[in-house]
A and B are shown apart, each in its own frame.
Chain A
């Protein structure tokens, strides 16, 4: 019974590698984009603040799957040929970016106002206050929700299979169609997703503890 899984494991692992790649790109770029937007959302430009707020609220209100479909069908409609991976990647980055932006924005705003007053009173400029005072303290607050966000993003890469981008879940469906051993195969898939996600969660715990030391 386990045999089906063992024989098909190499194929699954090839899919897992694609998933891993997709996840790394989506999480990295999405988090960086979101962090930048989150910082700008606390800035002085009212227009920028409003634009980012709209972005956050719109993206938060629609399922990632719909964003992906939109990406997948919108690019060709605009006359741009893209492969499924690019459509999926861009859609998920934009989605992760919105959630990250909101986490970072609220984390920065939750730093005690006395901290900014103290930094300002020394004559520190906005960039220095952000770098030396706000971001280090916001990071501590933002790490748990950011990791949650990242883990969700990793798992949501499985939606890529819906628009025909081949990765772990797609590979699993192919095998199941051939072997009909859905239980064994998806049990294996589950284990692989867990193995990808678990170290990330561990890393976050470790980092959280390290930050806690300096408080």
Chain B
């Protein structure tokens, strides 16, 4: 596959919150249909990276290209200028994101949550939007919960509604930001199953997670980040079985149950 065909291409991305640099020159590409899993300790910049790809954060230097289009900033007479909101929204239409804290709209039913994008962004007619949303809820196994409000759903169910809501925009890419981290352990599986099915259908996905077995199983490639930089990357089997960096070795030991590893 050539570089030009990459779905996401990130070059030397730098992002700071004040004096604190959280992304220190991150570069990688995601090919069409590829599932990239990003691992790393808290504070390593994984979530910020995803939020940058969806233009929910600004950044100070570097380029993000989505489907061959450089996004977020333009050159205005030699000065780097941020895109106006309306243009950013155009990109977000094509890039779905699912958040750790679900962020469902509490005043809307599950079905209405999923209809939000189709109705108010794609502007398709209500009956079609309803049918599309019902189909997607069916797909994530919640066909019978369509008329329930988020507060009456379990965490796992809410997160599946959130996935359906993002899918309703028919995005080119799906970003998952620690989507199972807020769930009870026994609800994690139902969400991962939905994600795995998406991957099998050929969706391009970038997944930030702490579920190592899932990463090994579903990921085409693993990227390990620490302190705002990519430390190591490669196929899951290789990266997880024989990590080359000391940092990843330690990280994996902790996840393999050695909670006292330092």
Contact = CB atoms under 8 A, between A and B. Distances in A.
Interface of A: 112, 114-115, 117-126, 128, 132-133, 136-137, 140, 211, 214-215
The 3 A-B pairs at the shortest CB distance, nearest first, are namely A123-B93, A118-B103, A114-B103
A132 B112 CA distance: 11
B104 A118 contact: yes
Given A121-B166, A123-B121, A115 B86 contact: no
Interface of B: 54, 56, 85-86, 89-90, 92-97, 99, 101, 103-108, 116-117, 120-121, 149, 151, 162, 165-166, 169
B105 A133 contact: yes
Contacts of A140: 107
Nearest to B165: A122
A214 B105 CA distance: 11
A215 B165 CA distance: 18
A128 B93 CA distance: 14
Given A120-B56, A120-B92, A123-B92, A214 B117 contact: no
Given A132-B116, A215-B151, A122 B121 contact: yes
B85 A124 contact: no
19 contacts: A112-B103, A115-B103, A117-B56, A118-B99, A118-B162, A119-B116, A121-B54, A121-B56, A122-B116, A122-B166, A125-B85, A125-B121, A132-B120, A133-B105, A137-B105, A137-B106, A214-B106, A214-B149, A215-B106
Contacts of B85: 125-126
